Amino acid sequence: MSSGNTHLVVGSGPSAAAVALALSERPDQQVVVLDLGGRLEEERQAARARLAATGPDGWDPADLAVVTARTAPSGSATAVPQKRTYGSDYPFRDLGQTRGTSGPPGTNLDVASSAYGGFSTVWGAQVMPFSRSTFDRWPVSWADMEPHYRAVLAEVPLAGEPDDLAELFPLLAPTSGLPPLGPRTAAVLRRYERSRDEVRTRGVTVGRARLAFAARDCIRCGLCMSGCPYELIYSAAQTMDRLRRRPNVRVLDSLLVERIGQVGDQAVASCRDLRTGQRSEFTADRLFVGAGGLGTTRLVLGSLATPPPRLEMAESIQFVLPFLSTRPVEDPRGPGARDFTLNQFNLLLPFDDEGYTTSQVHCYPYNPAFLDALPAALRGRWAAPVSRQVLRRLSVGFGYLPSWASPPVRVVPRPGAAGGLPELDLGHPPGTGRPELLRAVLRRLLRVAPRLDLWPLLTHVTLSGAGKSYHFGGSFPHRHGDAGAGSPGTDRWGRLPDWDRIHLVDGSVLPSVPSTTFTLTVMANAHRIASGVLTGEAPVDLRLGSAVS
């Protein structure tokens, strides 16, 4: 049993928040969070607060314009524009965490967040567990994970409803139910119920979204995808704000952690203060690294005495797929149209009986970004009647394939500036083509299209570049026993052989990345690791190189 210990936590995103949540429940545990701490600009925060103080009828158009500013269309048929939150790019702003990262065209280089709250400040809020069968291949079982899924869902609000998805992916916690669904979603669900047996026989299950937001308070103002003015969508920043009010939690901002290590029975984090440039060291009994899958990977590669010359990260690759329906709904931009614009329904395609190999497509109703994605010829004023008819029929799906059916992300480190993080080359391995499973997914969706009136526009399927799904990890995966050849693995407590006081707790330790949603499992696994330290299940062994598993 851990008693009166000190702990360092690197990062403030979902995994770091889950660690701090577990540790700080014990008043005798002292927690210090080391974070870059990027924040929304004051003028945008002020505009958001003014909108939140009233209802949409009282909104100042100037404030609304500030918080809904979007990126310009990319002009690339294969690029998904970088998302904004309250009109800001601050979750992606480089404060040193991505400097020196490069890759071929199409590679996502915004792979680590400097924001307080990490990428949960700009995510899509989908929450589902991994299937039980996933854990049959891990050194961590479903029974190990389930109580930590529940502990996280006691902190994270869950909006969803029991449906066919629960057969493989149980809700695990009370839900608030979703707000009223948009007309396109309601039509698809009605058709699914009428043809449920046939659609499922053809390999597709339809269900409502599972979302981390306070749905009971939603007024359907339509700003979900640009940033909820009422902050109803969960962010790890909300948890960190609550925890930092506890007397045993300190959050230190403007710190870039550049090295980690261990001296005797003390874990060490070497940081650079972004305001002064000065370097300092923090020591504690344990160190938990939750800088995100790529952020943690980079930090570890720069800290190991003999890092691997290259490694591969598992990614659940993303594809974007528009759907058209023959039966139109009312114009989603009409004066009476009010909707929430997060993911509303999911298409699940299982390729076995145990829910191991699946593809999942998150389907979205209209939001203003749809206009940016229309061909230029349809964005002009003269084309308004045509674009109106397109928008009355259009849904957009963001789909995912499991990591074992997706190309990996190759990571090649290079020496960086003295004392700083290493530089990284990222990308898919040479010769990477379109995954075979994607073809099977598209064939199934086409087979059920007449029953759902949801026709995949196969000529406009785009496969996102390396790292763009943000569902990646596995650079130092949990493994049974000896890590073996290739990249080093971690024990079930996220420890590399070099260190027994340092725990990796984010996506970097996941043995695989299924197609279903990612963040809930990252948080539950981080909570499991931290809880194991408190209960003594993760003992220490000062003979470095033989961490106890």
pLDDT for the residue numbered 481: 64
Q: Tell me the CATH number of domain 1-37+93-156+234-313+470-549, given options 1.25.10.10, 3.50.50.60, 1.10.443.10, 3.30.450.20.
A: 3.50.50.60
Q: Say how far apart CA 435 and CA 404 lie, in whole Å.
A: 10
pLDDT for the residue numbered 547: 36
Contacts 24+ apart (CB under 8 A), 66-69: 67/223, 67/226, 67/227, 67/229, 68/223, 68/226, 68/368
- Structure token pair of residue 379: 């964005």
Q: Say how far apart CA 281 and CA 502 lie, in whole Å.
A: 15
Query: Per-residue b/e over 35-60, b at no fewer than 16 CB within 10 Å?
Result: bbbbbbeeebeebbebbeeeeeeebe
pLDDT for the residue numbered 10: 98
* Torsions phi, psi for 403 (to 5 deg): -60, -30
Which amino acid, one-letter code, is at 288?
F
Residues of the chain with pLDDT under 50: 73-78, 482-486, 542-549
- Structure token pair of residue 176: 């608030």
Task: Single out the residue of 506, 444, 505 nearest to residue 198, CA to CA.
Answer: 444
Q: Determine contact, residues 283/439, Cβ cutoff 8 Å.
A: no
Cross-strand bridge partners of residue 89: none
Which residue stretches of 28-165 are H helix?
Answer: 42-52, 61-67, 132-135, 142-153
pLDDT for the residue numbered 72: 52
pLDDT for the residue numbered 340: 87
pLDDT for the residue numbered 250: 98
Contacts of 548 (CB under 8 A, 6+ apart): 491, 500, 538, 539, 540, 541
DSSP state at residue 25: T
Q: Say how far apart CA 157 and CA 489 lie, in whole Å.
A: 33
Which amino acid, one-letter code, is at 342?
L
Q: How many CB atoms lie within 10 A of CB 531?
A: 20
pLDDT for the residue numbered 367: 74
pLDDT for the residue numbered 378: 66
pLDDT for the residue numbered 300: 97
Name the packing angle between helices 142-153 and 519-535 (round to 10°).
100
Please state the domain extents for the chain: 1-37+93-156+234-313+470-549, 39-67, 164-223+318-400+429-464
Task: Single out the residue of 97, 470, 498 nearest to residue 258, CA to CA.
Answer: 97
pLDDT digits (tens, 9 = 90+) for 327-341: 998 888 776 667 888
- Structure token pair of residue 367: 């939001």
Instruction: Give ∠ CA 154-507-517 in degrees, rounded to 5.
Output: 60
pTM score, whole prediction: 0.94
Between β-strands 345-350 and 205-208, what pairing exists: parallel, antiparallel or unpaired? antiparallel
Task: Single out the residue of 536, 421, 549 nearest to residue 497, CA to CA.
Answer: 549
